[in-house]
Amino acid sequence: MSDDFKRLAAERAAEDVKPGMKLGIGTGSTAEHFVRALGARVRAGLDVVGVPTSERTRELAEAEGIKLATLEELPELDLTIDGADEIDPALTLVKGGGGALLREKIVAAASLSMIVIADESKLVECLGAFPLPIEVNPFGLGATTKAVEACFARNGLQGKLVLRGGAEHPFVTDGGHYILDAHLGRIADAARLAHDLVAIPGVVEHGLFLGLAAKAYVAGKQGVTVVEPAK
């Protein structure tokens, strides 16, 4: 059922795409449903151009016949549509479970608006149950790991920090970086943690998305619900 819900949310978001839009196109299983829905509209005559957030998304979008560009060619976008791993009532997100968080955040920040698409299992009262991905430079990995652990301690957080893929075969992002997955359980102050993480020199970016999402389409047994940030 979860995959059906993802598809419903993605198809609802595709309805918001207007002719001539410059789109950021997300990464992940829910975003792939959006790419397919967008491709169907493009083949029916919709004229848009997309900026993909990963090589996987680029390949799928090309297969669907969607016209693509880069942020060098289109530095300002109208809308980004992407999935999320967790969504709290303020529409603060945890993203990057697929390892594309840096490109996802760059594209979202270059957009006038962002719509999140998800199934209802992604709604949480407090972020942290899903491991927080942290993209780091391979150089100085040991020092960066210690600095991230010290940052967690200062923020009153405890949990295991795991190099994705392991030391022998670390996962490498499209940008050539590694991912540290932080199993924190609960993140009480996402804004403070986000601020402290980016101050660490070896941290390239983190999976906390604050103030970027304008609304979310969340699908469940009752259909698709529009979720907007709690005031």
54 labeled binding residue: no
Active-site residue (options: 32, 86, 104, 135):
104
Task: Round to whole Å and give the CA distance between 26 and 39.
Answer: 14
Question: Residue 30 — φ and ψ, nearest 5°?
Answer: -70, -40
27 labeled binding residue: yes
Query: Which element (helix H / strand E) includes 6?
Result: helix 2-14
| Residue in the structure block whose two tokens are 């789109």 | 23
Task: Round to whole Å and give the CA distance between 173 and 91.
Answer: 25
29 labeled binding residue: yes
Residue 183 makes CB contacts below 8 A (sequence gap 6+) with 131, 159, 160, 161, 162
96 labeled binding residue: yes
3 labeled binding residue: no
- Residue 73 is among the residues annotated as catalytic for this protein: no
109 labeled binding residue: no
CA separation, residue 186 to residues 41, 123, 182, 196, 200 (Å): 40, 14, 11, 16, 21
Task: Round to whole Å and give the CA distance between 187 and 156.
Answer: 9
CA atoms within 13 A on the CB side of 134: 33
28 labeled binding residue: yes
Annotated binding residues: 27-30, 82-85, 95-98, 122
Query: Which residues are designated catalytic?
Result: 104
Annotated binding residues for substrate: 27-30, 82-85, 95-98, 122
